[in-house]
């Protein structure tokens, strides 16, 4: 099993999108990329922690590759808006790939460059590609939030 960490706006819908993929064995929502240890949702929403809402994805690379996860990541949100996804705005909603190996860093940069070159999006991709920092689990009520309610989309 391997780990991937992505930020693509509100983590509820992002988690549900990844959770549905064949080869993804586990998902958790949480916070990463900032400078405060063990932040709460309220602290992250306060915009002073530097953290993004993220989803940690555990996957079987024999079933789904990291590159396939990256492509799904770029499909499930607008990677061209800085600190905004839909009605949600603030740095905690930034588009981010937090890589766990040099190979993941290379693949993320290659996929981002390819999509920009092909003009898949009307505007340039602003997704940050950064080494993974500590991941802090979000509160239990955020975990599998949509699945617990029998829905699969936020907005």
pLDDT tens digits, 9-37: 999 999 999 999 999 999 999 999 999 99
The token pair at 115 is 């999509």
The answer on pLDDT for 2 being more than 80 is yes
- Residue 69 contacts residue 4 (beta carbons within 8 Å): yes
Domain ranges within the chain, ordered by starting residue? 2-148
Single pTM value for the model: 0.95
The token pair at 125 is 């991709």
Distance of CA 61 to the CA centre of its chain: 18
φ/ψ of 78, rounded to 5, equals -95, 100
User: Quick check: is 45 catalytic?
Assistant: no
- Residue 129 contacts residue 97 (beta carbons within 8 Å): yes
107-155 pLDDT, tens digit each: 999 999 999 999 999 999 999 999 999 999 999 999 999 999 888 777 5
Query: Which of 4, 10, 64, 115 is labelled catalytic?
Result: 10
CATH number of 2-148: 3.30.1060.10
69-104 pLDDT, tens digit each: 999 999 999 999 999 998 899 999 999 999 999 999
């Amino acid at each position: 099993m391997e780990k991937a960490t992505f930020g693509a706006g509100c983590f509820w819908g992002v988690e549900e999108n990844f959770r549905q993929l064949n080869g993804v064995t586990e998902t958790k929502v949480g916070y990463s990329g900032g400078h405060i240890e063990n932040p709460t949702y309220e602290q992250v929403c306060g915009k002073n922690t530097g953290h993004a809402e993220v989803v940690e994805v555990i996957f079987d690379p024999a079933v789904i590759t990291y590159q396939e996860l990256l492509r799904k990541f770029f499909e499930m949100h607008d990677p061209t808006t800085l600190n905004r996804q839909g009605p949600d705005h603030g740095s905690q909603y930034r588009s981010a790939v937090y890589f766990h190996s040099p190979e993941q860093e290379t693949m993320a940069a290659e996929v981002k460059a390819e999509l920009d070159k092909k003009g898949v999006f009307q505007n340039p991709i602003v997704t940050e590609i950064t080494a993974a920092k500590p991941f802090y689990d979000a509160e239990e009520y955020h975990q599998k939030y949509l699945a617990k309610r029998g829905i699969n989309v936020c907005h």
